Structure 1
Amino acid sequence: MSAPRDGQRSRVYEAETVVRRIFDRADAGTGRELELFGSRITLPVERKFASVESVQDYLDRVRALNWVRADWPRAAEPVTVRARAGATAAHYEPATATVAVPLHRRGSSWALRELVVLHELAHHLEPDDTELAPHGPEFVGRYLDLVDGILGGEAAFVLRTTLLENGVTVA
């Protein structure tokens, strides 16, 4: 059986790029308050990481949360973090339950941040017995649930509205 078509992948990535820029601008001092679709919100602070080890510790702590383990049985299964040679993408390797993140390259560490790490964790949490598109509605729902529970409702609102504006279907 062939894997389902990943028809939302580019739209998910485009939306995430917009959201990361919103957080980057807030971090740069433009302010944490913004108005989005008629709602005034204050962005939370997004955690940034300095190393593979700090990402590993973060993922271990998130997977250990009671509500995460209750919602996704795969949270009990370990995930390993490793450095990725390329600088343009982070990814999840299901065969080895590994999150690969690019480290600091040319003054940038865009992937060593909470939104990217939670995206990769959402891949890890996919149930074993399913054949779902990697960035399909179920994945997006898991990702939004993680962002909501970890970063907060405001971050999830920004991500959800941006995903929907980009034509992403959410379960």
Structure 2
Amino acid sequence: MSVRDAQRSRVYEAESVVRRILDRADNGTGRQLELFGSRITLPTERKFASVESVQDYAGRVLALNWVRARWPEAAIPMAVRARAGTTAAHYEPDTATLAIPVHRRGTAWALRELVVLHELAHHLEPAGVDLAPHGPEFVGRYLTLVEEILGSETAFVLRTTMAENGVRLV
């Protein structure tokens, strides 16, 4: 039996807000942000030029010692392929594949670190358990990856935005 993915839309909405914040920072509005009384400086998010560069990045993340020590699934290679649809990236657990749209209206919106870390969090889900795809356990993995790789500032923005959107956190 499959577990209901009750907070999927809330997770996507929070991630969308954070992507817009990071895009504004990249477009010159400044990297400093005040959020819930905290003043933070956002780091630069990596952007990718191709499916091959996403593949290389994903492999490097999965090879990190702390990732392998924490999640045994990191030892399973993840393939990356271009996705025909343009509205979302998705993870295919049966083949351990990240399907990522390359272009949408002239932009490569999904070829970015936050999206790839989201899909890696799906890849790292423990085998043999029936969890909601965007449930608290997923959110915990995702936030850990964002904090350790993109930085605590970005994780703070994502965590608070998720909380404001009603996402259950671990």
After TM superposition, the score normalised by the length of structure 1 is 0.98
**Matched AA of 1:124:** H
Counterpart mapping for 1:130-149 below 5 A: 130-149=129-148
Which residue in 2 is equivalent to 1:47? 46
CA distance in 2, matches of 1:105, 1:12: 21
Match of 2:36 in 1: 37
Alignment correspondent of 2:103: 104
Q: Percent identical across equivalent pairs? A: 78
- How far apart are 1:59 and its partner, in Å? 0.3
- Aligned partner of 1:16 in structure 2 is 15
Report the CA distance between 1:129 and its aligned residue.
Answer: 1.9
Root-mean-square deviation over aligned CA pairs: 0.5
Q: Which stretch shifts more, 38-47 or 104-113?
A: 104-113
User: For 1:28-86, what per-residue CA distance to the aligned partner results, in whole angstroms no more than 9, with x for missing partners?
Assistant: 00000000000000000000000000000000000000000011000010000000001
Shift of 1:6: 0.1
1:154 and 1:77 map into 2 onto residues whose CA distance is 29
> 2:168: which partner in 1?
169
Structure 2 residue ranges without an equivalent (≥5): none
| 1:66 corresponding residue in structure 2 | 65
Q: Answer yes or no: is 1:92 the counterpart of 2:91.
A: yes
Give the drift of 1:108. 1.4
Query: Which residue does 1:28 correspond to in 2?
Result: 27
Q: Does 1:77 align with 2:91?
A: no
Number of aligned pairs? 170
Alpha-carbon distance in structure 2 between the residues aligned to 1:57 and 1:32:
27
Task: Provide the rounded CA distance (Å) in 1 between the counterparts of 2:13 and 2:107.
Answer: 19
In structure 2, give the amino acid aligned to 1:149. E
How many angstroms apart in 2 are the aligned matches of 1:137 and 1:80?
Answer: 25
Cα drift, residue 105 of structure 1: 2.8
Does residue 158 of structure 1 match 2:157?
A: yes
Q: Secondary structure at the match of 1:20?
A: helix
Residue number in structure 1 paired with 2:2: 3
1:113 alignment counterpart: 112
**What CA deviation, in whole Å up to 9, does each residue of 1:93-150 have, x standing for no partner?**
0000000000023211110000000000000000002100000000000000000000
Moved >2 Å (runs of 4+): none
Separation in structure 2 between the aligned mates of residue 147 and residue 45 of structure 1, nearest angstrom: 12
Is there any run of 5+ residues in structure 1 with no aligned partner, and where? none
TM-score (norm 2): 0.99
